[in-house]
Amino acid sequence: MVDMSFLSELITDSAAKIVLFVLDGLGGLPNPDTGLTELETADTPNMDNLARNGICGLLDPVAIGITPGSGPGHLALFGYDPIRYEVGRGVFSALGVGIELGPEDMAARVNFCTVENGIITDRRAGRISTEENSRLCTKIGKINVEGMEVEIVPEKEHRAALVLHGSGLSDRVTDTDPQRVGEAPLKCEPLPGAGGEAERTAKIVNEYIGKVAKLLAAEHPANMILTRGLAKHPNLPKMTDLYALKAAGIATYPMYRAVAKLVGMDLIDAGPTIAGEIEALKGAWDKYDFFFLHYKPTDSRGEDGDFDAKVRAIQEADAQMPLLMELKPDVLAITGDHSTPAILKMHSWHPSPVLFHSKWERRDNVETFGETACTGGGLGRFQAVHLMALMLANGMKLEKFGA
Residue 155 as a binder of a copy of itself (CB under 8 A): the answer is no
**Pairing relation of β-strands 55-60 and 380-383?**
parallel
E strands present in 146-223 = 149-154, 159-165
- Alpha-carbon gap, residue 173 to 178, rounded angstroms: 14
Q: Tell whether residue 386 is a contact of a copy of itself (CB under 8 A).
A: yes
Comparison of 286 and 401: residue with beta carbon closer to a copy of itself: 401
* Nearest CA-CA partner of 294 in 331, 343, 346, 259: 259
Q: Does 62 bind a copy of itself (CB under 8 A)?
A: yes
Q: Which helix (H) or strand (E) holds 111?
A: strand 106-116
User: Is 376 among the residues that bind a copy of itself (CB under 8 A)?
Assistant: yes
Name which of 286 and 399 has its Cβ closer to a copy of itself.
399
The residue among 224 and 391 lying less far from a copy of itself, judged by its C-beta, is 391
Q: Show Cβ contacts of residue 298 under 8 Å, excluding neighbours closer than 6 positions.
A: 23, 24, 25, 26, 38, 310, 313, 314, 317, 336, 340
Interface pick for a copy of itself out of 25, 54, 82, 154 (rule CB under 8 A): 82
Q: How far apart are CA 400 and CA 109, in angstroms?
A: 43
Is there binding between residue 217 and a copy of itself (CB under 8 A)? Answer: no
Shortest spacing between CB 393 and a copy of itself, in angstroms: 4
- By CB under 8 A, what part of segment 233-272 binds a copy of itself? none
Which residues between 333 and 362 bind a copy of itself (CB under 8 A)? 344, 346-350, 360-362
Backbone phi and psi for residue 383, each to the nearest 5 degrees, phi listed first: -75, 135
Q: Does 116 bind a copy of itself (CB under 8 A)?
A: no
Q: Is 265 helix (H, G, I), strand (E, B) or coil?
A: coil
Strand partners, 333: 20, 356
Binder of a copy of itself out of 70, 133, 201, 335 (CB under 8 A): 70
Q: How many residues of this chain interact with a copy of itself, rule: CB under 8 A?
A: 67
Contact 73, 337 (CB under 8 A): yes
- Cis check for the bond before 68: say yes or no (omega within 30 of 0): no
Instruction: Please report, as residue ranges, which positions from 281 to 320 form the binding site for a copy of itself (by CB under 8 A).
Output: none
Binding of a copy of itself by 87 (CB under 8 A): yes
58 touches a copy of itself (CB under 8 A): yes
Q: Which residues bind a copy of itself (CB under 8 A)?
A: 1, 3-4, 6-7, 10, 29-30, 35, 37, 58, 62-72, 82-83, 86-89, 92, 109, 229, 344, 346-350, 360-365, 371-372, 375-378, 380-382, 386-394, 398-403
